[in-house]
Structure 1
Amino acid sequence: MSSVIPTISFKIVVLGESAVGKTSVLNRYATNKFYQKIEPTIGSTNFQKTINQLDYKIKLLIWDTAGQERFHSLAQMYYRGAKGALVIYDVQNVDSFERAKEWVEELRKQGDPNVQIALVANKIDLPDHMVDKNEAIKYAKENQLLFKETSAKTGEGVTEAFISLAKSIPLEIGESSTNFPNSNDEDFLFLRNGDEKQKKNSKDGCC
């Protein structure tokens, strides 16, 4: 008889300027793949991923939002109710870092009062970083944010960023989900605009 353990769901939103690599980071986390060319996100895409945390399973319901300014008003619909957020910037683009700060401010004003935020420096595999790492770390500390460095291309830091964010969210503010048998848990990946669905075995875990 397979054991049954409780599952807690957290809504996670990924925000940032266009072309900072939000979708590539998500693809790396969801499929462990990197695509050199990828179409800009229109509106949003979403998928879910389950990780182990002590005596619980944590189901992350992750929303990728469009970075173009014309979709900004739509992003508010997607981050409403989010318990966690990854705010991503491109280490070669100072403007994207300044825009990340604006996203943090907006989340703090209009998002869930308990939202946990990770500031993510992406594309660290590239040379000539224009955003000073120490400045980013200082900003993160001053604003009580997690700080993570990632490369969607190499995969460095990507899984850690999501798991660290998930572990920073108190279990009691999550939503209880249907219990899943411990020996038969599966993740469902929802691709662009929810038009396709690919089922795959979960390989992530922490603790």
Structure 2
Amino acid sequence: MKVIEGKIVVLGAQGVGKTSLVVRYIGKMFSHHISPTIGASFFTCKINLDNTRIKLQVWDTAGQERFRAMAPMYYRNANAALLVFDITQVHSFEAVRMWVKELQKNVPEPMVMCLVGNKTDLASERRVSRDEAQQFAQTMGAAYFESSALQDYGIEEIFLSTAMEFINLSKQGGHTLKVYDSETPATAPPTEEVMGNVSLESVALGEPAKGMCC
């Protein structure tokens, strides 16, 4: 079985639900009481697609302005970026434009980009239309998804799409993905699956702060 390892960085303004989105997918849970991320949190998971196992290294970055200077440390060598905004907060959508410029300026390698409009459970308070977001995604060559961590809506598609794009990216030149053959063949499930050995590690100011198994 071929194995592809890729790094995903999750970027966006404070409070858009970046951590809730990642924890919902990897930990299969949701909490109304997740503390703001300090520095970044690191998650890993594996997805089997056809005869390929994709190992995702997910870096969930802090949205607070005081941690912005640390962001390059986390998105350096990233193979994909999830740019998350809150559909009820126009300023969070506008902040994505800044992150796109940052990535274009600092990441020369090919990168998979996904724009994510989160909190669709608050659709009655929507301030950013789907059409506007889709048009912006097209201008930067990104896929657009809408999601709700609360309702567990749309999140699996985001990570599955990214994993599939890693397979496509691995066939091109100039990427920094790790691609190799597994020494122990495994039987791939009929559909995508988050495999075992899921781990979560919080990193504060570049140093391990705590770890737990979920």
Smaller-chain TM-score bracket: 0.7 to 0.9
Report which stretch shifted further, 13-22 or 186-195. Answer: 186-195
Counterpart position of 2:13 = 17
Counterpart position of 1:168 = 165
Deviations 1:63-116 (A, max 9, x none): 000001110111111000000010000000000000011111211111243011
* Cα shift at 1:196: 1.7
Report which stretch shifted further, 118-127 or 174-183. Answer: 174-183
Distance across 1 between alignment mates of 2:161 and 2:97: 20
**Count of residues in correspondence between the two structures:** 195
Counterpart position of 1:56 = 52
Q: What TM-score do you get using the length of structure 2 for normalisation?
A: 0.85
* Cα shift at 1:186: 3.0
Counterpart position of 1:91 = 87
The Cα RMSD (Å) is: 1.8
Counterpart position of 1:182 = 186
Three-state SS of the structure 2 residue aligned to 1:196 is: strand
Distance across 2 between alignment mates of 1:178 and 1:45: 28
What does 1:28-107 correspond to in 2, within 5 Å? Answer: 28-107=24-103
Distance across 1 between alignment mates of 2:170 and 2:212: 28
Distance across 2 between alignment mates of 1:149 and 1:112: 27
- The answer on whether the counterparts of 1:82 and 1:112 sit within 8 Å (CA) in structure 2 is no
Distance across 1 between alignment mates of 2:25 and 2:53: 17
Deviations 1:114-145 (A, max 9, x none): 01110000000112201121111111112211
Report which stretch shifted further, 179-188 or 44-53. Answer: 179-188
- The answer on whether the counterparts of 2:115 and 2:145 sit within 8 Å (CA) in structure 1 is yes
Pick aligned residue for 2:2 from 2, 6, 11: 6
- The answer on whether the counterparts of 2:26 and 2:198 sit within 8 Å (CA) in structure 1 is no
- The answer on whether the counterparts of 1:28 and 1:34 sit within 8 Å (CA) in structure 2 is yes
Identity of aligned residues (%): 37
Counterpart position of 1:191 = 201
Q: What TM-score do you get using the length of structure 1 for normalisation?
A: 0.88
- The answer on whether the counterparts of 2:79 and 2:111 sit within 8 Å (CA) in structure 1 is yes
Q: 1:73 to 1:177 in 2, by over 3 A?
A: farther
- The answer on whether the counterparts of 1:10 and 1:82 sit within 8 Å (CA) in structure 2 is yes
Distance across 2 between alignment mates of 1:109 and 1:165: 22
Counterpart position of 2:192 = none
